[in-house]
Amino acid sequence: MELNAICELIVDCEHKTAPTQETGYPSIRTPNIGRGRFILEGVNRVSEETFRLWTRRAVPRPGDLIMAREAPVGNVAMIPTGLQPCLGQRTLLIRPDRSKVEPSFLNYFLNGPHVQGLIQAKTNGATVAHLNMQDVRTMTLPELPPLAVQRRISGILSAYDELIENSQRRIQILESMARGLYREWFVHFRFPGHENQPRVASPFGEIPQGWEVMDLSRVCADADGIRTGPFGSQLHESDYSVEGVPVVMPKDLIGFRIRTESIARIPEELASSLKRHRMQPGDIVYGRRGDIGRRAYLMSHQAGWLCGTGCLRIRPDSQMINGWYLFNYLGQDDVVSLIAGRAQGVTMPNLNTGVMSSVPVRCPPMTTQEAFYRLTFPMAEERESLVAKVENLRRTRDLLLPRLLSGQIEAKAA
């Protein structure tokens, strides 16, 4: 059975580029197509005139699928109710024939490992992998189960996706609340009691009286406050093991936390020999190459993890500064820009201890820092718990997906 046999139409984007704007119709390009869902943060938008021009062949509607023809080649997502997008470059629209296939089932089916393997086998291109339209239309698929079973399978998998979406919304709310409180207190200086605090001059301009500006090295632990990870000669790829102590690399710093899906590990014995690179709760770990600004705050369950090659570890002096306040301060827009501007390297920005040591830090009184910690760190802990929940739900869903699609786990029609 070919894909076009179960679809009303399969068309691609026939246009190249168009002026974008902040409001309007979202133009779905390949980076906006995740595995099963759209990534709409920062999506390009186009005018109504452009939308009408680009949808002459087919107006995308809920239940249609959009596939990426180039990287991430083969990703498919279904248009939900309430979203009115148009096709961007290197994408194609798939409209399922609902008398033959349930759209949500086809979404999971095309993203499943078996069909993804078929898609990858059909990619072309010496430098950039891409899919040809004819190959997509004529792609031979395994036999589909009856519609009632399709709906049962998509219902099971959708339940996981709904739990994931709910948790992600809660994460976004928590992050927004913490960011808002930080800006209110430490950017706009509207912290509790600010009415009675006169302003004084500083290298940052006027700041509340009683605040200080110090170099980062001064608010870090003596002698060991800012340290880069081990040299490549100290830690080799051959040292990595399936079990053991996690080694944090720049690739693991995603969304201001440490992701462990592909984290490297080393035996405890080797980690002990590199003990000066082991981290403790309250440390801040930075990726020091490439995308300057990637960082994470070490949570209690991450004690003893290793700062890997390519990373830099900051250890605040708890007598001088609250580590959670410092972590948030280092994410302030002007501070991120300052650090990025000082990063060295001809071909790739690179942080080192010298660059970081002289970064100026605006230090409110400890009582204000600790009040901020008490209000917002529980939000960070709840966020960490929710992120772990999302990761577990995704793993479970992804384990179920091929088993349900193959019939290894029977999904009887209700």
Beta carbons of 305 and 274 less than 8 angstroms apart? no
Q: Provide the Cα torsion 103, 109, 112, 114; round to 10°.
A: -160
Provide DSSP, 51-64: HHHHTSS----TT-
pLDDT of residue 408: 85
pLDDT of residue 205: 86
Report, as ranges of residue numbers, the positions in the chain whose pLDDT lies below 70: 126-127, 345-348, 412-414
Mind listing the domains of the chain with CATH numbers?
Answer: 3-144 (3.90.220.20), 146-195+365-414 (1.10.287), 212-363 (3.90.220.20)
SS (H, E, C) 132-158: CHHHHHCCECCCCCCHHHHHHHHHHHH
Cβ neighbours of residue 68 under 8 Å, at least 6 residues apart? 30, 33, 74, 75, 76, 90, 91
User: Nearest 5 degrees, angle CA 187-CA 191-CA 197?
Assistant: 100
| CA distance to 255, 288, 306, 405, 414, per residue, from 346 (Å) | 27, 14, 28, 50, 63
pLDDT of residue 114: 87
Query: What are residue 316's phi and psi, to 5 degrees?
Result: -65, 150
Torsion-angle region of residue 245: left (phi > 0), alpha (psi -120 to 50) or beta?
beta
Q: How far apart are CA 251 and CA 258, in angstroms?
A: 9
pLDDT of residue 255: 86
The DSSP bridge pattern shows strands 245-248 and 306-307 to be: parallel
Beta carbons of 405 and 109 less than 8 angstroms apart? yes
pLDDT of residue 222: 83
Beta carbons of 39 and 33 less than 8 angstroms apart? yes
Torsion-angle region of residue 113: left (phi > 0), alpha (psi -120 to 50) or beta?
alpha
Beta carbons of 27 and 44 less than 8 angstroms apart? yes
- Reduce the DSSP state of residue 365 to 3 states and report it: coil
How many helices and strands, by DSSP H and E, does the chain display?
10, 20
| Residue range 205-222, pLDDT digits in tens | 899 999 999 999 999 998
Structure token digits, residue 233: 């000669």
pLDDT of residue 67: 96
Closest to 384 in 3D by CA, of 246, 256, 280: 256
Bond prior to 72 in cis (omega within 30° of 0): yes
Cβ neighbours of residue 209 under 8 Å, at least 6 residues apart? 197, 198, 199, 200
